[in-house]
Amino acid sequence: MPNIQFTEQELEELANKLADKLFLKLKERLNQEGELLTLEQACDYLKCNKGWLYKKVQQKEIPFIKIGKYLRFRKKELDKWMK
């Protein structure tokens, strides 16, 4: 196997190109799956307060996802849930 060496600048350029491609792929996927709302945005959209929404999440009565420690809500899922 050949020994390939890169300069620091070349590595940085490769990392930036990879990050740009990953960002575009993630953005495409999020657009396909629907807009993600924060807790505050979901409260505005549903016209409710945070306490009510937290309670619905805790009781698993409303669709949500967790990204790390953060709650997110798909607008499409909230629309289905309201019907």
pLDDT at 23: 83
Topology of the domain comprising 8-82: Arc Repressor Mutant, subunit A (1.10.10)
**Model's pTM, two decimal places?**
0.62
Which sequence spans correspond to the domains of the chain? 8-82
**21-77 per-position pLDDT tens digit:** 988 887 777 666 678 999 999 999 999 999 999 999 999 999 999 989 999 999 999
Q: Where are the alpha helices (DSSP H) in 7-74?
A: 8-33, 39-46, 50-58
Structure tokens at 32: 């396909």
Report whether 18 contacts 24 (CB < 8 A). Answer: no
Nearest to 38 by CA among 13, 75, 11, 9: 75
**pLDDT at 29 (0 to 100):** 74
Q: Name the token pair of 27.
A: 């953005």
Q: Which two tokens stand for residue 25?
A: 């792929």
- The tokens describing 30, both together, are 């999020």
